[in-house]
Amino acid sequence: MIDKIKNFILKNKLTLSIVVGVILLSIFSLNPASNLPETPLPPIPTPNVSPTPYVGTRTGQQAVQQSIADREVGLSVNKTLNQYPFITKLPLITQNYTAIFDFKKQVIRVRMQQGFTSQFIESDVKKRLSDIGVPESIQIEYLKFNDPTP
């Protein structure tokens, strides 16, 4: 008898798996938790401000001036990216410190979390900055967590 059951199971695996799937599906669909009424979401408030349409017209000269300004911004961004290709990979944020580039001072500023010293994190900072392509010629300035920003 057991051999007949084994043979039946081996020959009808697909049929049995479909039957088991249908049984499980019907059990889950009859689950009382799925029949709970759905709580409606509160309505989203609409703002009382109506958009103000642009009433002016742009002259050809204004459009040309805007295009020139847009081009200058694009050139400035490209120049910055060429000069500092690592800038897109900053800030570096870890549990111990945050490193940013200060354009005015031309230095990397590392603000350490409370309880850390520059000796503790210096090697990690230098390695990570080197990995993102920061030249060694750029100085690194370490600040403690509660130091005011100069």
Q: How large is the average pLDDT for residues 90-94?
A: 92
Highest mean pLDDT among 32-46, 53-67, 82-96: 82-96
Is a pLDDT exceeding 60 seen at residue 123?
Answer: yes
- Give the separation between CA 91 and CA 98, rounded to whole angstroms: 7
Q: How large is the average pLDDT for residues 56-78?
A: 84
Is a pLDDT exceeding 90 seen at residue 135?
Answer: yes
Report the percentage of the chain scoring pLDDT > 70. Answer: 68
142: nearest Cα among 123, 104, 88, 83: 123
Per-residue pLDDT at 4: 72
Instruction: Provide the whole-model pTM.
Output: 0.52
pLDDT, mean over the chain: 79
Is a pLDDT exceeding 90 seen at residue 25?
Answer: no
Is a pLDDT exceeding 70 seen at residue 81?
Answer: yes
Residues 6+ apart with CB under 8 A from 89: 132, 133
Strand order in the sheet with 92-93: 92-93, 97-102, 107-112, 140-143
